[in-house]
Amino acid sequence: MTQRPTTATKPTLTFPESAFIPEFIGTAKSAPSLISGDEQHFSAIASTLKQRLSELSTALDRARKGPRAHGQEALERDMEVHRLATRLRTLSRFGLDLCLGRMEAADGTEPIYVGRLGLTDDDGRRLLIDWRSPAAAPFFAATHAHPMGLLARRRYRWSAGLISDYWDEVFTADRLESNAALDDQSAFIASLGVNRSRKMRDVVSTIQADQDAIIRAPSRGALVVDGGPGTGKTVVALHRAAYLLYSDPRVGHHLGGVLFIGPHQPYLAYISDVLPGLGEEGVRVCTLSDLDPAGETAVPEADRGLAALKSSVEMVSAISTAVGFFQEPPAQSTIINTEWAELELDARDWAEAFSAPEDGTPHNEARDAVHEALLDILVDKLDAETPIDMARAALATHPELSTALSAAWPLLEPANIVAGMFTIPTFLAMCAPWLSEAQIRSLQRSDGLAWTDADLPLLDAARQRLGDSGASARRARRRTELAARRQEMAAVIEEAILADDSELLVSSMLRGEDMAEKLDQAADLPEESADPLAGPFTHIVVDEAQELSDAQWQMLLRRCPSGSFTIVGDRAQAREGFDESWEERLTRIGLTRISVSTLSINYRTPAEIMVQARAAITAELPDANVPQSIRTGGAPVERGSVADLSVRLEAWLVQHPTGHAAVIGHPNFAPRPRVASLTPVLAKGLEFDLVIVVNPQDFGTGITGAVDRYVAMTRATGTLLILEDH
């Protein structure tokens, strides 16, 4: 088969002779009758893509070099720069592999080409439609039973910017008889067995109809995607995040955007290229530990009993009780001495001021409202001849008032609140009176700041309840700086007016309201950036959600007031067990409008491996939802001695020069290129060509041990090797 060269202006298809071709294909896939239309269309895509990249580069350069702006104009310019830079990066990531495939409609119209992004030429011709658009839905959802107006569908497989293979699917009997390259299922299944890499494979062109239906489901309420290993839950979750940002007006970057929660850092590294490859760079991606700054140093909670105790909603609510102890108005009067009069704040005055903050205002931020209310009360006590503005300014920084307020309503730090509960038994008993004496003792520790992962939801609750302790000081500093700027500008204006000898006194216009507004904008100082993970978000996607505790769910609910969630998980992979239904679980933690979609086909794990994986989990969970594997004919599960690990691994690496392997359950095994060393917990969500499970009997007993064995075994896409000490 001849390989055609590719140029910038006239791209052509390249089909290697090693391309997978099923036995029933009678004509080579490179036959002109099959690919000439594609070649012509790709030429138009390449030309337009080159032009768009040039236009974007020019526009971005112009926006960056534009005149200096302030206020709203500066914000709009920054947003435009961000939009252009994002679009340029996205288009630069791809060439012709922007195109995923094409659809041929039954009405005889021109084929429609589906892309990662939409692309239109200067004449308004749609060269590519975005995969997320309604018009692209049949490309993923059409089946032989419901062709959705299609005659045929073609999907491309790309490698290094060239087409390495394609496969066609047809939806009418006459096309089945006349077309020479109808290898839909065989080519798709063959694609599932290709070698894995350190990054999740690009699978958007092979999204299946059941997965696509979930991806395009509405965003209202909580949608659960329930499925066992290899069913594509993570694929669905990632594509759904990109789809909602594109299609749902309620889920936009300017409205809060999407937060994606993964189980651990190796998982985040594994999926890091997927969303940018789908045209989305705006999704926030993190683990639960990343939601709180203490997560960087927190260690796993070694005591499962303590972890369970801390994970309850009741412990989270104890944080609010703890903060309330620092909002007690003084019962005694406070005397404030001023140059105008001796002023008294009695118990009723303090109580009135303490009621000033609106409900739900964080403690530290509410302190400003209390302070302002106290100033109002004190000013009202002055006689009519007192210069009110001067007196109020003096009272605002009065040391006696500041001292009294700090004692009655102090600024608090989240770490100190939580650490106090874990180091002062009487304080914990006051905050959580339902705890027994034994439980209180078990929660005490010598170093209150020695955080574990089970402490993070409590720290997060304290952070949300307290707010920013430095916000008040920053606002005061900002007001001072703005006042100084305006005073300086006012002096400049006056000098300009005095020096203006024109008949129209043009400089006097600087005193007008419009100019004053522009000067205020020019004087505006940039706000300090907030925590990008604090929310609120309009939608949250949670992968491996079966592992979340009640307290961890509260971390997410606080960040998504709308209750719009995509919840991805498998009850049979819950290490601590999952006795409830999804509906029961989510209703209990506070979600409503819950729907459940189930994925039951395992695309990843060969059937030979799943037979033994099924036995591993059903021994402990007889009703586990184990998916049906569609891949058969793979290598059987191999067994051996731990002593042979290095020899067998090296032999496999030589035989598979591009494959990737994982050793699971061997804490002393050092990772190396193409070989990861993982625990069963850190293996969740990942996949490898070869998986070597070491001493699975040591993973533990009960549900936790069974789940760890099940997870470890089902990471394999090709070969599973179980090694044990004999």
Separation between Cα atoms, residue 267 and residue 199, nearest integer Å: 9
Separation between Cα atoms, residue 173 and residue 189, nearest integer Å: 22
Q: Residue 569: beta bridge partners?
A: 226
Dihedral sign (CA 290, 212, 707, 681): negative
SS3 string of 344-376?
EECHHHHHHHHCCCCCCCCHHHHHHHHHHHHHH
Separation between Cα atoms, residue 422 and residue 428, nearest integer Å: 7
257 assigned to a ligand binding site: no
Are 610 and 629 a contacting pair, CB within 8 Å?
yes
Separation between Cα atoms, residue 501 and residue 370, nearest integer Å: 52
Query: CA 330 from chain center: how many Å?
Result: 45
What residue type is 540 in one-letter code? Answer: I
Run of H or E including 224: strand 222-227
Separation between Cα atoms, residue 557 and residue 537, nearest integer Å: 10
Q: How many CB atoms lie within 10 A of CB 294?
A: 20
DSSP strand E in 240-389: where? 258-262, 284-287, 334-337, 342-345
Q: How many CB atoms lie within 10 A of CB 433?
A: 9
Separation between Cα atoms, residue 446 and residue 431, nearest integer Å: 19
Collapse the DSSP code of 339 into the 3-class scheme (helix H, G, I; strand E, B; otherwise coil) and give the result.
Answer: coil
Query: CA 236 from chain center: how many Å?
Result: 14
Q: What percent of the chain is helix, strand and coil (3-state, nearest 5)?
A: 50, 15, 35
Separation between Cα atoms, residue 592 and residue 561, nearest integer Å: 12
If we measure between CA atoms, which residue out of 243, 235, 322, 285 comes closest to residue 568? 235
Q: Residue 168: beta bridge partners?
A: 154
Dihedral sign (CA 486, 489, 491, 494): negative
46-49 CB contacts, 8 Å cutoff, 24+ apart: 46/8, 46/9, 46/10, 46/11, 46/95, 46/96, 47/9, 47/121, 48/119, 48/120, 48/121, 48/122, 48/127, 49/91, 49/95, 49/96, 49/98, 49/119
Collapse the DSSP code of 233 into the 3-class scheme (helix H, G, I; strand E, B; otherwise coil) and give the result.
Answer: helix
Instruction: Give the pairing of strands 688-694 and 661-664.
Output: parallel
What b/e readout covers 143-170, taking b as 16+ CB neighbours within 10 angstroms?
eeeebbebbbbbbbbbeeebbebbbbbb
Separation between Cα atoms, residue 288 and residue 295, nearest integer Å: 8
Collapse the DSSP code of 542 into the 3-class scheme (helix H, G, I; strand E, B; otherwise coil) and give the result.
Answer: strand
Run of H or E including 223: strand 222-227
Separation between Cα atoms, residue 518 and residue 523, nearest integer Å: 9
232 assigned to a ligand binding site: yes
Token output for 692: 């070597």
Dihedral sign (CA 419, 424, 427, 429): positive
233 assigned to a ligand binding site: yes
230 assigned to a ligand binding site: yes
| Cα angle value 37/40/44 (rounded, 5°) | 135
231 assigned to a ligand binding site: yes
Are 155 and 167 a contacting pair, CB within 8 Å?
yes
Q: How many CB atoms lie within 10 A of CB 487?
A: 9
Separation between Cα atoms, residue 192 and residue 231, nearest integer Å: 12
229 assigned to a ligand binding site: yes
262 assigned to a ligand binding site: no
* Binding-site sequence positions for ATP: 227-234
* Binding-site sequence positions: 227-234
